[in-house]
C-alpha cells in the first residue's frame, strides 16, 4: 500500500487533509515546551537577582550543592534501568569515592530539557511553600535555564547516595543498599 500524502484526503473518511486529521500531532514538542518554560523561569529569576553583588551571587550558586538534600523532589529522577555509567557511579558512591569524570558522564545521560523543567517546577514549589529561600530558588532556576550542570550534578549525586544507602532521605530514612 502506498503512503498517503499530506495533502490527500484522510483515509478515515472525514474529508479533511491528512495533515489536519488523524494521528497528526500539532503544536510544539514536549522538549520545546520544556525549553521555553526554563527560559521564561530563568529570565524571571535573573530579574530578581540583578541587584546582588558578584560575591552574593557566587555564594548562592555554591549553596546549590546543598539544595537536593532539602527534598526528594529536588533530586534527579533515576531511571528504572541504570546505564553502565550510573551503575559505576552507584558503586563509586557506595565506596565513598565518587569520581568527578564519572559524575560528568552520568550527568550527560540524564540531562534532558524535561528533567531540567521537572527540577525547576520542584524548585518553584519548594520556594512557594517557603521550604527553601527564594533567592536560592532563583539561583537554581538560573542554573537550570543555562548550560550549567551544577544543580544536576548535585541532584544526581544526592539521588545516587540515597539509593545506595550512603545518605539519608530528607525525612531521615536510610534506605538499605
pLDDT, tens only, 58-70 = 999 999 999 999 9
The Cα–Cα gap between 43 and 170 comes to 29
Contacts 24+ apart (CB under 8 A), 27-31: 30/114, 31/112, 31/113, 31/114
Quote the pTM value: 0.84
Cell triple for 139: 539561583
pLDDT digits (tens, 9 = 90+) for 26-47: 678 899 999 999 999 999 999 9
Cα dihedral 115, 96, 67, 111, rounded to 10, equals -20
Helix residue ranges per DSSP H, 22-133 = 30-49, 54-63, 84-94, 100-110, 113-128
> What is the residue extent of each domain of the chain?
31-163
pLDDT digits (tens, 9 = 90+) for 126-162: 999 999 999 999 999 999 999 999 999 999 999 999 9
Amino acid at each position: 500500500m502506498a503512503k498517503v500524502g499530506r495533502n490527500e484526503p484522510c483515509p478515515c473518511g472525514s474529508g479533511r487533509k491528512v495533515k489536519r486529521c488523524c494521528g497528526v500531532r500539532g503544536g510544539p514538542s514536549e522538549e520545546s515546551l520544556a525549553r521555553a518554560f526554563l527560559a521564561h523561569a530563568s529570565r524571571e529569576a535573573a530579574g530578581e537577582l540583578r541587584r546582588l553583588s558578584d560575591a552574593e551571587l557566587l555564594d548562592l550558586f555554591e549553596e546549590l550543592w546543598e539544595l537536593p538534600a532539602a527534598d526528594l523532589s529536588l533530586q534527579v529522577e533515576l531511571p528504572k534501568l541504570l546505564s553502565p555509567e550510573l551503575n559505576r557511579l552507584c558503586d563509586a558512591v557506595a565506596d565513598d569515592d565518587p569520581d568527578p569524570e564519572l559524575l560528568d558522564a552520568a550527568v550527560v545521560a540524564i540531562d534532558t530539557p524535561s528533567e531540567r523543567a521537572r527540577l525547576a517546577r520542584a524548585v518553584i514549589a519548594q520556594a512557594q511553600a517557603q521550604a527553601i529561600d527564594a533567592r536560592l530558588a532563583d539561583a537554581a532556576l538560573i542554573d537550570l535555564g543555562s548550560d550549567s550542570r551544577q544543580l544536576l550534578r548535585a541532584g544526581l549525586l544526592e539521588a545516587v547516595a540515597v539509593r545506595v544507602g550512603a545518605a539519608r532521605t530528607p525525612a531521615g530514612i536510610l534506605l538499605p543498599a
